[in-house]
Structure 1
Amino acid sequence: MAKKDARNTKGRIVDAAWALFYEQGYDETTIDDIVERSETSKGSFYHYFDSKDALLSSLSYLFDAKYEQLMEEIDPEMDSFDKLMYLNHELFLMIENSIPMDLLARMYSSQLVTFGERHLLNQGRTYYRVLRKIVIEGQKRGQLRSDVSVNEIVKAYAMCERAMIYDWCICNGDYSLYQYSGTTLPMFLQSYRCG
């Protein structure tokens, strides 16, 4: 039970922090604000995070939570190609509507200069587990090519998503991320589809 409580505490801190970052901006949000909103303590905050900057790496947890939610809602009979498109569309819509671009850019920047774990590449994340499950299912159903390894398809998909987010950030959001992805990602993924 302690492990579940710990996950809930960390999750509450992350959720509160990102809600505050969106509402009032990263620089204006204090650790006290985060502790108050999450109904936790400073001790709990510092147990999980060294600083407010350390929360930048937690953005991947928000993405993973979104994937978990979407996997509960998705039709299990849906074509695997369509599942990948659905997940991408919903995640990019969330990013566009609720993640401040400057925080997204900071998170990507932090991944470039970090000496520790690069959380975006952590294969144990929900994101990668979900993608592998969908690709394996798609290969078994004959919907996705089986002459390309599961890991190669997942790597290519993740790389394409990161590239689109990165480009959207450096273009200052001059276009709709999820609309652009809706036309670009199918062309990219088509090479992995059977038939």
Structure 2
Amino acid sequence: MAKKDARNTKGRIVDAAWSLFYEKGYEGTTIEEIVERSETSKGSFYHYFDSKDALLSSLSYLFDAKYEQLMQDMDPEMNSFDKLMYLNHELFLMIENSVPMDLLAQMYSSQLITYGDRHLLNQSRTYYRVLRRIVIEGQNRRQLRTDVSVNEIIKAYAMLERAMIYDWCICNGDYSLYQYSGTELPLFLRAYKAQ
């Protein structure tokens, strides 16, 4: 039961923080406001996070929560190529519509200068587990190439997604991330489709 309470506490802190970041901006949000909104304590906050900056890496966990929800909604019989497209489009639509660009940019910046855990690259994240499951399934169904390793396909796919998000941020969102990936991702994925 203690483990579940810990997840709930951390989850409440993350949810409150991102809600406040969206409302007031990252710089305009204080730790005190996060603690108050999450109905936790400063001690709980500092138990899970060293600083407000440490919350930036939790954005990847919000993406993972979206992936978990999408996996439940997705038709298990869908072609693996289409599953990868679906996950990307839904995530990018969420990013475009509900994640402030400055927070994305700060998260990417924090990953560049961190000496600790780089959450975006953490292979135990739901994101990587979902991709692994889809790619293995696609290879077993002969929908994706088997002469390229699962790890190589996952690395290339994740790298392309990060590159698109990064470019969208440095271009100040002057184009639709969702629409751009709808054009470019199929071209990229065709290289991994079984012939």
Q: What TM-score, normalized by structure 1, do the two folds share?
A: 0.98
| CA displacement at 1:12 relative to structure 2 | 1.2
Instruction: Report the alpha carbon displacement of residue 32 of structure 1 after superposing the two structures with TM.
Output: 1.5
Deviation string for 1:42-95 (max 9, x for gaps)? Answer: 111111011111101111110111101111111101111100000000111111
CA deviation vs aligned residue, 1:11-67 (integer Å, no higher than 9, x gap) = 111111111101111111111211122121111111101111110111111011110
> What residue in structure 1 maps to residue 85 of structure 2?
85
Matched, 1:10 2:6: no
Percent of aligned pairs with the same residue? 85
Q: Distance in 1 between matches of 2:138 and 2:65?
A: 23
SS at match of 1:192: coil
Distance 2:130 2:150 in 1: 12
Counterpart residue number, 2:133: 133
**C-alpha distance in 2 between matches for 1:161 and 1:152:** 14
Letter in 1 for 2:29: T
Which one is further off, 37-46 or 93-102? 37-46
In the other structure, the counterpart of 1:99 is 99
Q: CA separation in 1, counterparts of 2:78 and 2:39?
A: 39
Aligned length: 195
Instruction: Tell me what 1:177 maps to.
Output: 177
State yes or no: 1:19 paired with 2:33: no
What's 1:193 paired with?
193
Match of 1:67 in 2: 67
Partner of 1:37: 37
Paired residue type of 2:182: G
Residue number in structure 1 paired with 2:118? 118
Rounded Cα–Cα distance in structure 2 between residues aligned with 1:76 and 1:37: 38
Q: Higher mean Cα deviation, 51-60 or 33-42?
A: 33-42
Which amino acid letter does the alignment assign opposite residue 131 of structure 1?
A: L
Give the drift of 1:7.
Answer: 1.1
SS in 2 for 1:183: helix
In the alignment, the residues of structure 2 paired with residue 127 and residue 11 of structure 1 have an alpha-carbon distance, to the nearest angstrom, of 18
Cα RMSD after superposing both structures: 0.8
1:30 counterpart letter in structure 2:
T
Show CA shifts across 1:120-168 (max 9, x none): 0000100000000000000011110111000000000000000000000
Q: Distance in 2 between matches of 1:20 and 1:172?
A: 21
Instruction: Give SS of 1:13's match.
Output: helix
| Structure 1 consecutive aligned stretches of length 4 or more whose deviation exceeds 4 Å | none
Structure 1, unmatched stretches of 5+, are none
